């Protein structure tokens, strides 16, 4: 049976990674706040699309899951991390103490990762989340039970500000941002549930129009100061004038699914090919864009758009000119 790649998923990832790069290239403000509402939740939602239950009683099934979903990303995480820490040390003439300190942070992960590895927390939480959700859907058969568990986890995540009882490298955090899995697993499970039901509704004009309209309305209310909402997954920042659980369970989903709907429309346009190409190289851009933005700035480039283009294009060229640095699992649809 032939397999066909679902192009709008790659395009959605492209929109997500472009938002990530813009968010890091811009100074903090209203635009970055809105970007942060949805760009990381989108990646966790997409990460849940191709999860499936396994027989948790069989070690061979866990080994297969590890080899297919964990091993490659974990290997690249350490290789890329070591390389970027060495690069920063060379460019900024850091001493051995700095180098050893930051290399050891790769093991602890989470909020302790900064500078060129500041986005690496995503890989930590992503790997933990897909493992947690796979365990959930493999052991709890009721979808109501599954939703209840991830919903309770999301609620718990809104009941505290930060982990204040554990300090690692002067950061209040858990190893690998473990507590952020309470948030990420919710979005990952939503992605799993969406893709294992009738997901084709996201390609229809009416739902797309409603989602985009709702997103624009939310932005309008926000700009007119009808509510406040700040959300950053890495730092566990959740500030809102409304109940946190309500905002966290709605706004990121509305925006993420709105982006997916727009991606389905974009896939029918000529620009879709360029965006899908960007989407296929999401992870190498995620790894390298921080360093490239900094290098561009040090070279005297101040224009945000130019820096963003540099941070997007160079990783893709590196991947295309040689054997791909980051080989992602293919996204397929049975046809």
pLDDT for position 13: 97
In a domain, 324, yes or no: no
Give residue 164's pLDDT.
81
Taking only the tens of pLDDT, the chain with its 335 residues reads 445 789 999 999 999 999 999 999 997 889 999 999 999 999 999 999 999 999 988 999 999 999 999 999 999 999 999 999 999 999 999 999 999 999 999 999 999 999 999 999 999 999 999 999 999 999 999 999 999 999 999 999 999 988 888 889 988 899 999 999 999 999 999 999 999 999 999 999 999 999 999 999 999 999 999 999 999 999 999 999 999 999 999 999 999 999 999 999 999 999 999 999 999 999 999 999 999 999 999 999 999 999 999 999 999 999 888 654 444 444 433 33
Give a yes or no: residue 330 inside a domain.
Answer: no
SS3 assignment for 164-228 = CCCEECCEECCHHHHHHHHHHHHHHHHHHHHHCCCHHHHHCHHHHHHHHHHHHHHHHHHHCCCCC
Inside any domain, residue 139: yes
pLDDT reported for residue 83: 97
Contact between 333 and 4 under an 8 Å Cβ cutoff? The reply is: yes
Task: Decide if 200 is inside a domain.
Answer: yes
Asked whether residue 236 is domain-assigned, the answer is yes
The confidence score (pLDDT) of residue 322 equals 65
Taking CB atoms within 8 Å and a gap of at least 24, the contacts of 316-320 are 316/277, 316/278, 316/281, 316/284, 316/285, 318/284, 318/288, 319/281, 319/284
If one counts the domains in the chain, the total is 1
CB-based contacts of 69, cutoff 8 Å, min separation 6: 127, 130, 131, 134, 329
Q: Are 299 and 47 in contact (CB under 8 A)?
A: no
Residue 56 belongs to domain spanning: 7-318
- Check residue 312 and give its pLDDT: 97
Instruction: Please indicate, yes or no, if residue 2 is contained in any of the structural domains.
Output: no
For residue 270, the 8-state DSSP code is T
Q: What is the pLDDT of residue 2?
A: 44
Token reading at 128: 């933990």
Q: What's the pTM?
A: 0.93
Q: What is the pLDDT of residue 107?
A: 96
Domain assignment present for 140: yes
* Residue 331 resides in a domain: no
Query: What per-residue confidence (pLDDT) applies to 330?
Result: 42
């Amino acid at each position: 049976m032939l397999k066909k790649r679902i192009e709008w998923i790659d395009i959605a990832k492209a929109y997500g990674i472009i938002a990530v790069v813009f968010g890091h290239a811009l100074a903090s403000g209203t635009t970055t706040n809105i970007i942060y509402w949805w760009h990381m939740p989108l990646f966790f939602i997409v990460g849940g699309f191709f999860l499936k239950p396994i027989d948790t009683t069989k070690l061979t099934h866990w080994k297969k899951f590890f080899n297919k979903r964990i091993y490659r990303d974990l290997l690249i995480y350490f290789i890329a991390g070591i390389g970027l820490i060495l690069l920063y040390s060379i460019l900024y003439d850091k001493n051995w103490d700095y180098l050893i300190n930051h290399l050891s942070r790769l093991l602890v992960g989470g909020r302790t990762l900064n500078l060129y590895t500041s986005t690496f927390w995503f890989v930590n939480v992503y790997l933990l989340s897909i493992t947690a959700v796979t365990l959930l859907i493999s052991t709890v058969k009721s979808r109501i039970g599954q939703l209840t568990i991830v919903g309770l986890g999301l609620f718990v995540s809104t009941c505290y500000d930060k982990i204040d009882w554990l300090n690692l490298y002067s950061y209040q955090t858990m190893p690998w941002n473990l507590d952020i899995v309470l948030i990420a697993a919710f979005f990952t499970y939503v992605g799993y549930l969406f893709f294992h039901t009738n997901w084709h509704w996201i390609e229809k004009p009416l739902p797309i129009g409603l989602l985009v309209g709702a997103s624009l309305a939310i932005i309008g209310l926000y700009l007119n100061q009808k509510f406040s909402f700040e959300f950053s997954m890495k730092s566990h920042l959740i500030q809102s004038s409304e109940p946190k659980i309500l905002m966290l369970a709605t706004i990121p989903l509305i925006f993420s699914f709105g982006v997916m709907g727009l991606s389905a429309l974009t896939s029918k346009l000529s620009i879709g090919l360029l965006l899908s190409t960007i989407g296929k190289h999401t992870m190498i851009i995620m790894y390298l864009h921080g360093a490239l933005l900094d290098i561009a700035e040090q070279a005297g480039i101040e224009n945000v758009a130019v820096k963003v283009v540099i941070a997007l294009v160079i990783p893709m060229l590196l991947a295309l000119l040689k054997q791909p640095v980051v080989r992602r699992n293919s996204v397929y649809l049975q046809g």
